[in-house]
Amino acid sequence: MSAILPPSERLWWKHPLDRVEGTWIVIALVWCLVMFAMMVGWHIYGKQNLSTETYKTTREMFSAKAQAVVDKYTVRTETDKQIPVVHPPAGGDVYLIGRLWDWWPIIEFEKGKTYRLHLTSMDYNHGFSLQPVNINIQVVPGYEHVVTMTPNQSGTFSIVCNEYCGIGHHNMLGRIYVK
């Protein structure tokens, strides 16, 4: 039989499996089950993935919450755009808005304290990638993603959009300070 010519019998699925084919199917199935178990194990024991909460929201509701936090906890402004730097109390909620082509506001946390970071997009899908700690979340319009964070090292961390969002995508950078 040739791979170029059609099979002589059109109902190929009615033929019995060869022993080698069956062996490879069993190996593939076992490997899939092992990988599935490893993903669950990595999530539970390896702390590889964030456990996030997700809620439906609207732009108006989320921006009102974000503005209230900015009005209450702004400590200074930075950059030529005068972006507010927000320092919420430990255990508090802080809101971060992704929109063409910036993250708003800049956030300041304290090392060892726990915070709830709320994320949403106002326009398109954006990727929240916190570097260099490699936290990666896809931020979708209409949904509020809540991440509970406890920073364990001080420094300046960059927020990079890793979901292409248009011509200014390469300028979509934000910051989180940990003191």
Number of Cβ within a 10 Å radius of residue 164:
13
Tell me the β-bridge partners of 114. Answer: none
The radius of gyration of the chain from alpha carbons, rounded to an integer in Å, stands at: 24
The secondary structure element, H or E, covering residue 157 is strand 155-161
Do 39 and 82 share a domain, yes or no?
no
Q: Are residues 105 and 42 in the same domain?
A: no
Q: What is the mean pLDDT of residues 78-95?
A: 91
Instruction: Answer yes or no: do 30 and 62 share one domain.
Output: no
pTM of this prediction exceeds 0.95? no
Same domain, 1 and 88: no
**Number of domains the chain contains:** 2
Asked whether residue 124 falls in the same domain as residue 81, the answer is yes
Question: 123 to each of 26, 98, 100, 132, 143, how far by Cα in Å?
Answer: 46, 8, 7, 26, 11
Q: Mean pLDDT, the chain, as a whole number?
A: 89
Range of the domain at 75: 52-178
Q: Which amino acid is at 49?
A: N
24: pLDDT strictly greater than 80: yes
Q: How deeply is 129 buried, as exposed, middle or buried, from its count of CB atoms within 10 A (0-12, 13-18, 19+)?
A: middle
Q: Which two tokens stand for residue 46?
A: 């390896």
Whether residues 2 and 72 fall in one domain = no
| Residue with tokens 């993603």, as numbered in its chain | 145
CATH number of 113's domain: 2.60.40.420
Backbone angle region of 129, left / alpha / beta, with phi > 0 → left and psi within -120 to 50 → alpha: beta
Residue 17 pLDDT > 90: no
Judge whether residue 14 has pLDDT over 80. no
